[in-house]
Amino acid sequence: MSAKPSLRTELLFNLAFLAAAALLLGVVTVLLVSAVAPERAVLLILTIVAADVAIFIVFGRYVVTRHVLRPVARLVAAADAVAAGDFAARAPAAETSDFTTLAERLNRMTDHLLDAQGQLVRSEKLASVGRLASGIAHEVGNPLGAGGTYLEVLRRRGADPEVVAGLSRELERIDRIVRSLLDYARPQDEALGLVDTATVVRGAYVLLEAQGALKPVRAALEIVRDVPPVLGRAHLMEQSLVNLVLNAVDAAPGGSVVVGARRWDFEPDRVPRKRANDPGRSAFPRTPERRPTRIEFAPGQPGALIYVADSGSGVPAEDRDKVFEPFYTTKEPGHGTGLGLAIVARAVHEMGGVVWVDRAREGGAAFKLFFPAADGR
């Protein structure tokens, strides 16, 4: 693709062409008038000069409109559209490099503002839902404890064992929900420390493999060399990864699950680079989608990408933001609280990273965690 000319070059070229043409026409006119009708030389020369001025104005207006006014109008229209709430509006490229660069800067500024707004909304949502979860957990915890006491009284008085077992099962389910709510709402005061990303990912995988949690699937570990260390909390990162892997195992029984980590440069809206062993032509082509980001991320922010991909049914595009909200679950009633991914999202957010879900090469869901490199490179 050839480079676009600058605005200065376009204007100078067109104006120089116009001036040269006017000068040439003037010289030819003077010579012709002097040779053919010298008595009317002054009148004809004035007429030619007037015609040159008119042509200069018309052509100059066309050049200025094409190379200056029209691109400015497009930039203004894009800015007005964004200000009116059309956040998908972007300034188009122009014929000159200057206005093309200006349009790119305007679009980048719009993306940056949207990222800042999205991060603020996510932070406020996490804080408000955390306060709500903490209040609910404490309010439910007291009657839950009383219910357990009454259940024990019923058991001692010889109540129907089947009824007692059913009540005990449901109380345990409520207890798990309360504990999950407390895990979600609990603030993390521990300072961030240097974390060896590859070690955490390998440790979580080996732990699940030793427990037999990966037996229902064909599991694989992919850790590319030189994965950079990041700032975080190793136990929270491992807990989040274990949660994602167990979800992947549930989503793809008998299928495949891939856990991996690699060095990666974060871009909010680029097509993700293929893995090293991806085939040349994939049955599941990857399309550019805007990812959640943080205002602290510089363009092309270097860091570590952790991913858990499966061959399950995947997550529909319209639900990819909802899956990280509390109590949103695709599992059957009674088989999940809908808090696992919400806890993961909160933990990743507090450690300065971002989490999102894409379509996996395997056809299912690919949950991805990105953390900036601790050394910034």
DSSP class of 179: H
pLDDT of 282 over the 50 cut: no
3-state DSSP of 318-372: HHCCHHHCCCCCCCCCCCCCCCHHHHHHHHHHHCCCEEEEEECCCCCEEEEEEEE
At 281, the pLDDT band (50, 70, 90 cuts) reads very low
More confident residue, 288 or 93: 93
3-state DSSP of 206-269: HHHHHHCCCCCCEEEEEECCCCCCEEECHHHHHHHHHHHHHHHHHHCCCCEEEEEEEEEEECCC
More confident residue, 289 or 223: 223
227-247 confidence digits (pLDDT tens): 999 999 888 888 889 889 998
pLDDT of 99 over the 90 cut: no
d(CA 260, CA 300): 20
Mean pLDDT across the chain: 77
At 101, the pLDDT band (50, 70, 90 cuts) reads confident
d(CA 257, CA 361): 11
- Look at residue 55 in the predicted model and tell me its pLDDT: 75
The mean-pLDDT minimum among 73-77, 187-191, 256-260, 356-360 falls in 187-191
More confident residue, 156 or 376: 156
Neighbours of 64 (CB within 10 A): 13
320-376 confidence digits (pLDDT tens): 877 877 766 665 555 555 677 888 888 888 888 888 888 888 778 899 999 999 876
pLDDT of 7 over the 80 cut: no
pLDDT of 184 over the 70 cut: no
Q: Which helix (H) or strand (E) holds 194?
A: strand 193-195
Residues of the chain with CATH 3.30.565.10: 191-372
- Look at residue 288 in the predicted model and tell me its pLDDT: 46
- Look at residue 284 in the predicted model and tell me its pLDDT: 42
Phi-psi region of 352 (alpha: psi -120 to 50; beta: other; left: phi over 0): left
Which CATH number does the domain 191-372 belong to among 3.40.50.1370, 3.30.360.10, 3.30.565.10, 3.40.228.10? 3.30.565.10
- Look at residue 156 in the predicted model and tell me its pLDDT: 83
Residue 182 class from Cβ within 10 Å (0-12 exposed, 13-18 middle, 19+ buried)? middle
**Tokens at 345, concatenated:** 């999202």
d(CA 51, CA 53): 5
At 127, the pLDDT band (50, 70, 90 cuts) reads low
- Look at residue 174 in the predicted model and tell me its pLDDT: 77
